């Protein structure tokens, strides 16, 4: 096979899948089910997943004039994104079909969004990163607006779109400034150029702009204000996707940029990231304490989790990169899982919104209640779940690099977080049962069960036998590590 093409094989597969779905959609009967299209998207995602794994056997290297690079790091995030998309597709197969218009479009958009996110993680050229970011953002803007008829839907989508494009503008401006300072947009080349001589102020400003842009995308404080509103208004399966996959991709990009292009400037960005981490943890957890709306609460929880992940960034070590990658996986598993439960229990129109609406869910549907309890326990960070091991790894990495206060703040925060997760957990297992609301919950369908099995299994494996994923995360981190060790010591 053409070596160049092999390096973007997963993206190609998903693009073709998306295009076929777009073309097939108008050919189907107007009122017929769009599920076959969804299953086709599932197949395409599976193929992309295997294609990404296959890429591990390729020798590391770049393609298309050094813009795309496949290595253990990019494959790690490719597989993660494909996994998230797979679970999201399974969740939305039944909840979207029959409830929204232009469902085929929805499945195609998920595929296109995945292409953008995957490109972000394998791009080693800032402009291509930007293009990937835009592809993924635009599809998530549209998906956020899929509940066109509810008032909250368009509101949330407009908010997301306006603030999102503002942030990408920052990102683009940052790239321009860095190009002005170094004369290149290739990430590795920037790193090489900046090792020589005085660091131009322009590059520092550019880096700050990029931090702002990415900070918005991962909803890190102080760029988090949009998150609760958007999560509240968007359809639940979409929230499950956009709180994990685009964030993972953005984190992957940020790691690559910080560790490969700007390792020498770490005394500039490390304190900034430190503060972003602390602020995100505190704002997220304290904000979540007061929320009555489950989706808003989970939105704040995702801000807090972005903080935990950023804590690993400050470690300035291979362990830090590996911990951040590992945490992205654990957070994705549990968060996609909990949104699968929320989207099935609440339905497309979000019938269950408040914490108290979930009263007695475990008695009405032991399966959904149990799954929700399990993911909440993982979010709290109890051993035997991935959530615990992820936090353990992140804070071990931070502590190892002497970030004692960050570790203490982080762990105290995760203690505070217990409170709001427990509130939901207590509601799920409390009596009396809220029958009028809970009676409307349909029986779990096969695709939903598949998605739940997938996420529960992933969370358990990450918590009990994390060795395999740990090795992969470390192998990924190793590809960034030459830069880390040479420049930062």
Partner 1 sequence: MILGWLIVILIAGGLIAWPLARLHPLLSRLIALSAVTLDLALALVLATRDFGPGSTAGGGWREELDWSWIPQFGIHFHLGMDGLSFLLVLLTLFLGVVAVVVSWTEIATAVGFYHFNLLLILAGILGVLLSLDLFLFYFSWELMLVPMYFLISVWGRERRTHAAVKFFLFTQLSGLLMLIALLALYFAHHQATGIYTFEYQDLLGTPLDPHRAMWIMLGFLAAFAVKLPAFPFHTWLPDACAEASAASNLVLASLMAATAAYAMIRFLLPLFPEAVHTISPLMIVLAVIGILYSAILAFSQTNLMRLVAYASIGHLGFVLLGIFAGNSLALRGTVMTVIAHGVSIGALFLVAGAVEKRVQSREIDTMGGLWDTIPCLSGVGLFFALAALGLPGLGDFIGEFLILIGTYQAHIAAAAVAALGVLAATFYALRFVQYAFQGTNIHSWHLPDLAAHEGFVLGVLIAVLLWLGLYPQPVLQTLAQAASHAPALWR
Work out which of 408, 435, 440, 486 binds partner 1, going by CB under 8 A. 408
For residues 81 and 11, give the distance between their C-alpha atoms in angstroms, rounded to a whole number. 11
- Min dist. Cβ of residue 452 to partner 1 (A): 17
Place of tokens 């770049």: 62
Q: With contact defined as beta carbons under 8 Å apart, do 255 and 383 qualify? A: no
How many residues are given for the chain? Answer: 489
Residues 424-483 that bind partner 1 (CB under 8 A): 426, 429-430, 465-467, 470-471, 474
Binding mask 330-369 for partner 1 (x = CB under 8 A): ----------------------------------------
Burial category of 476 from C-beta neighbours within 10 Å (exposed 0-12, middle 13-18, buried 19 and up): buried
- Min dist. Cβ of residue 423 to partner 1 (A): 8
Q: Residue 236's CB: how many other CB atoms inside 10 A?
A: 27
- Min dist. Cβ of residue 407 to partner 1 (A): 6
Residues 83-142 that bind partner 1 (CB under 8 A): none
- Min dist. Cβ of residue 219 to partner 1 (A): 24
Q: Which is nearer to partner 1, 214 or 377 (CB)?
A: 377
Q: Which residues contact 173 (CB under 8 A, 6 or more apart)?
A: 206, 209
Instruction: Choose the stretch contacting partner 1; rule: CB under 8 A; options: 140-148, 244-252, 421-429, 480-488.
Output: 421-429
Instruction: Choose the stretch contacting partner 1; rule: CB under 8 A; options: 153-161, 206-214, 284-292, 406-414.
Output: 406-414
419 binds partner 1 (CB under 8 A): yes
DSSP-assigned letter for residue 248: H
- Min dist. Cβ of residue 382 to partner 1 (A): 5
Q: Residue 293's CB: how many other CB atoms inside 10 A?
A: 16
| Cα 467 to Cα 98, 105, 191, 326, 474, distances in angstroms | 42, 39, 32, 11, 10
- Min dist. Cβ of residue 397 to partner 1 (A): 10
Q: Which residues contact 329 (CB under 8 A, 6 or more apart)?
A: 80, 248, 386, 390, 458, 462, 469, 473
- Min dist. Cβ of residue 373 to partner 1 (A): 9
Kind and range of the H or E run holding 215: helix 201-217
Q: Which is nearer to partner 1, 303 or 477 (CB)?
A: 477
- Min dist. Cβ of residue 76 to partner 1 (A): 15
Q: What are phi and psi of 101, to 5 degrees?
A: -90, 165
Size of the site for partner 1 (CB under 8 A): 30
For residues 302 and 285, give the distance between their C-alpha atoms in angstroms, rounded to a whole number. 9
Binding mask 363-402 for partner 1 (x = CB under 8 A): --------------x--x-xxx---x---x--xx--xx--
- Positions touching partner 1 (CB under 8 A) are 377, 380, 382-384, 388, 392, 395-396, 399-400, 407-408, 411-412, 414-415, 418-419, 422-423, 426, 429-430, 465-467, 470-471, 474
């Amino acid at each position: 096979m053409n070596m160049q093409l092999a390096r973007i094989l997963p993206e190609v597969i998903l693009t073709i899948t998306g295009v076929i779905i777009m073309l097939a959609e108008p050919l189907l009967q107007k009122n017929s089910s769009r599920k076959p299209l969804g299953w086709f998207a599932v197949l395409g995602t599976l193929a992309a997943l295997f294609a990404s794994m296959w890429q591990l056997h390729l020798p590391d290297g770049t393609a298309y004039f050094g813009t795309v690079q496949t290595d253990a790091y990019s494959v790690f995030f490719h597989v993660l994104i494909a996994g998230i998309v797979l679970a999201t597709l399974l969740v939305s197969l039944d909840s979207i079909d029959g409830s929204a218009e232009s469902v085929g479009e929805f499945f195609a958009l998920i595929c296109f969004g995945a292409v953008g996110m995957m490109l972000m993680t394998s791009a080693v050229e800032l402009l291509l990163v930007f293009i990937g970011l835009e592809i993924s953002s635009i599809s998530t803007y549209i998906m956020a607006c899929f509940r066109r008829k509810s008032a909250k839907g368009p509101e949330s989508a407009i908010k997301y779109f306006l603030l999102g494009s503002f942030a990408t503008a920052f990102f683009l401006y940052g790239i321009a400034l860095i190009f002005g300072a170094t004369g290149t947009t290739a990430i590795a080349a920037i790193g090489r150029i900046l090792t020589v001589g005085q660091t131009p102020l322009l590059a520092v400003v550019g880096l700050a702009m990029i931090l702002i842009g990415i900070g918005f995308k991962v909803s890190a404080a102080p760029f988090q204000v949009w998150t609760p509103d958007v999560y509240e208004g968007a359809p639940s399966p979409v929230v499950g996707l956009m709180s994990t996959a685009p964030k993972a991709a953005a984190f992957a990009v940020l790691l690559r940029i910080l560790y490969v292009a700007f390792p020498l400037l770490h005394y500039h960005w490390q304190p900034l990231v430190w503060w972003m981490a602390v602020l995100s943890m505190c704002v997220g957890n304290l904000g979540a304490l007061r929320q009555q709306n489950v989706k808003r609460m989970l939105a704040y929880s995702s801000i807090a989790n972005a903080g935990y992940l950023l804590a690993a960034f400050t470690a300035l070590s291979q362990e830090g990169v590996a911990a951040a990658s590992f945490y992205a996986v654990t957070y994705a598993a549990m968060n996609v899982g909990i949104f699968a439960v929320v989207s099935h229990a609440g339905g497309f129109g979000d019938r269950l919104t408040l914490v108290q609406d979930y009263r007695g869910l475990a008695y009405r549907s032991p399966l959904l209640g149990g799954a929700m309890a399990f993911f909440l326990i993982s979010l709290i960070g109890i051993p035997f779940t991935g959530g615990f091991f992820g936090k353990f790894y992140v804070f071990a990495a931070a502590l190892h690099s002497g970030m004692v206060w960050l570790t203490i703040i982080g762990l105290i925060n995760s203690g505070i977080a217990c409170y709001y997760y427990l509130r939901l957990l207590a509601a799920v297992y409390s009596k009396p049962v809220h029958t009028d609301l809970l009676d409307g919950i349909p029986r779990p369908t096969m695709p939903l069960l598949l998605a739940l099995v997938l996420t529960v299994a992933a969370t358990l494996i990450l918590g009990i036998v994390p060795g395999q994923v740990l090795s992969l995360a470390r192998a990924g981190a190793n590809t960034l590590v030459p830069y880390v060790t040479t420049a930062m010591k």
